[in-house]
Structure 1
């Protein structure tokens, strides 16, 4: 098998994706936008036997002058394989990918699996951990069925907002993006979110430029005032729509802007022949009030998993400051050397993003946003 690390500007990245069922979260544009917040450089490992392909996007984060580690970007990157690849090919190709990464100086690899595309993923490498559940809306169902599956409290909120004159629309030219960014930041501040949940202006500009028509901004308005909004991504090849970030004006919380926006987005997705709107899960993959909010739109759930692989055991143990028993503790904070107080981790526990008490299992070294969803919920 041949293996290579692809850079975002290489045509082979998109050409390979065209042969695979994939999501927007696998694209070069998504990963370029994530470089600043993930503090690394975007790449994708591509393995082929000449007729079949494996591609896994990643962010390379520096450790020392000669070593680095890899992680999935915020979202659900996960591995993708070309259409028709037999069972077993993916893991065989993953072995070749690991050999390449080790030669290039990679120490560990944290992979966020796609709950829809990697539902049957099995691997003999490292450890696959179930993090929790995510929620999706089946957009192939009739509008009557979708409304029937919407919980009564959400129906009341949507109807009440409509009667009050609240409308929702797709902002095709992103004219309201500055207002949305302010609302999102205010929402994260109210929720006392970590710095990891905030994005600079360059992130949004890169998303708009790199994703083009695959990025959607829906806004809720009352009297021409934007009171809430959400960013979604779409992959027209696979029919997958993803709920990304959302924010709302505290003064208008009684108008249910998040419910109104999601309701409008799912109708847009249905009319535009998308197959699924993936809402993600709870904070840090926990079964919490955020997940309950999303379940109010659909009963359909999926298992969200991560894979933790030690690529270079000797370097991993040395960086973790432990002994070889560290290699058997992959279900804890991974990689161990990025845990709070670790050699490459935050100096104080208070800087940790995902609170362990709210996670099904600890996630990545950076705390992990866990799911590509917002932390928003109305009262």
Structure 2
């Protein structure tokens, strides 16, 4: 098999994705936007036997002058394989990918699996951990069925907002993006979120420029005032919409704009032949009020998994202070050398750490941000 690390500007990244069932979270544009917040450089490992492909996007984070580690970007990347690849191809190709990464100086690899596209993922490498559940809305259902599956409390909130004159729309030219950014930042500040939950203006500019029509901004308005909004991504190849970031005006929280926005987004997705709106799960994959909020729109859930692989055991142990037991403790804080207070500390600031549910396992050293949104239901 042939293995290569692709850079975002290489046509082979998109050409390979065109042969795979993929999501927006696998695209070079998504990964370029994540470089600043993840403090690394975007790449994708591509393995082919000439007729079949494996592609896994990643962010390369420096450790020493000769070593680095890899992680998935914010969202749900995970491996994708070309159409028609047999069941055993993916893991065989992953072995070739690991050999390449080790030669290039990679020490460890943390992979966030896609809850829909990697639902049946199995691997002999490292450890695959069930983190928790995510929620999705089946957009192939009729509008009547979707409304029937919406919980009563959400229906009441949407109907009250509608009677009060609240409307929701797609802002196709992103004219309200500055207002949305302010609302999002204010929302995160109210939640005492860590720095990892905040994005600079360059992040949003890169998303808009790189994703183009695959990025959607829905806003809720009352009397021409934007009172809330959310960013969504779409993949027309797979029909998957992803709920990304959301925020609302505290003074209008009684209008519950987030419910109105999601209701409008799912109707847009249904009319535009999307197959699924993936809302994600709880904060840090926990079974919390955020997950309950999302379950108010749909009973459909999926298992969210991560895979932790020690690529170079000798370097991993050395970076972890010589503690060989870390090689057998992959279900805890991973990678071990990025534990708070350790030699390398967290990869990113971490002042907001979610308490996992009994089913959830700790994620990587990323501040607990394992799901592709940060919305908590307004009161």
Assess same fold via TM > 0.5. Answer: yes
- State whether residues 353 and 366 of structure 1, in contact with CA within 8 Å, keep that contact through their aligned partners in structure 2: no
- State whether residues 350 and 366 of structure 2, in contact with CA within 8 Å, keep that contact through their aligned partners in structure 1: no
Bigger CA drift: 202-211 or 343-352? Answer: 343-352
User: Offset of 1:54 from its aligned partner?
Assistant: 0.1
Q: How many residues align?
A: 379
Distance 1:240 1:10, change over 3 A: same
TM superposition score normalised by structure 1: 0.98
The corresponding residue for 2:373 is 373
User: Offset of 1:373 from its aligned partner?
Assistant: 1.6
- State whether residues 335 and 365 of structure 2, in contact with CA within 8 Å, keep that contact through their aligned partners in structure 1: yes
| Structure 2, unaligned runs of 5 or more | none
Distance 1:348 1:204, change over 3 A: closer
Structure 2 residue 115 is matched with structure 1 residue 108:
no
Rounded to whole Å, the distance in 1 between the matches of 2:111 and 2:129 is 10
Runs of 4+ in 1 over 6 A off after TM superposition: 347-350
- State whether residues 194 and 350 of structure 2, in contact with CA within 8 Å, keep that contact through their aligned partners in structure 1: no
- State whether residues 132 and 286 of structure 2, in contact with CA within 8 Å, keep that contact through their aligned partners in structure 1: yes
Deviation digits for residues 304-340 of structure 1 (CA, Å, limit 9, x no counterpart) = 0000000000000000113221100000000001110
- State whether residues 132 and 304 of structure 2, in contact with CA within 8 Å, keep that contact through their aligned partners in structure 1: yes
> Counterpart of 1:350 in 2: which secondary structure?
coil
Bigger CA drift: 344-353 or 61-70? Answer: 344-353
Rounded to whole Å, the distance in 2 between the matches of 1:37 and 1:376 is 21
- State whether residues 220 and 260 of structure 1, in contact with CA within 8 Å, keep that contact through their aligned partners in structure 2: yes
Distance 1:346 1:59, change over 3 A: closer
The corresponding residue for 1:62 is 62
Q: Residues 184-223 of structure 1: matches in 2 within 5 Å?
A: 184-223=184-223
Deviation digits for residues 241-299 of structure 1 (CA, Å, limit 9, x no counterpart) = 00000000000000010000000000000000000000000000000000000000000
> Counterpart of 1:343 in 2: which secondary structure?
coil
Distance 1:346 1:18, change over 3 A: closer
> Counterpart of 2:343 in 1: which secondary structure?
coil
| Structure 1, unaligned runs of 5 or more | none
Deviation digits for residues 180-205 of structure 1 (CA, Å, limit 9, x no counterpart) = 00000000000011110000000000
Distance 1:359 1:337, change over 3 A: farther
User: Offset of 1:374 from its aligned partner?
Assistant: 2.0
Deviation digits for residues 155-184 of structure 1 (CA, Å, limit 9, x no counterpart) = 000000000000000000000000000000
Distance 1:348 1:281, change over 3 A: closer
> Counterpart of 2:337 in 1: which secondary structure?
helix
- State whether residues 45 and 97 of structure 2, in contact with CA within 8 Å, keep that contact through their aligned partners in structure 1: yes
Rounded to whole Å, the distance in 2 between the matches of 1:347 and 1:115 is 24
- State whether residues 287 and 357 of structure 2, in contact with CA within 8 Å, keep that contact through their aligned partners in structure 1: no
> Counterpart of 1:245 in 2: which secondary structure?
strand
Distance 1:307 1:254, change over 3 A: same
Distance 1:352 1:217, change over 3 A: closer
- State whether residues 340 and 352 of structure 1, in contact with CA within 8 Å, keep that contact through their aligned partners in structure 2: no
> Counterpart of 2:350 in 1: which secondary structure?
helix
- State whether residues 338 and 366 of structure 1, in contact with CA within 8 Å, keep that contact through their aligned partners in structure 2: no
> Counterpart of 2:246 in 1: which secondary structure?
strand
Distance 1:347 1:90, change over 3 A: closer
Deviation digits for residues 56-113 of structure 1 (CA, Å, limit 9, x no counterpart) = 0000000000000000000000000000000010000000000000000000000000
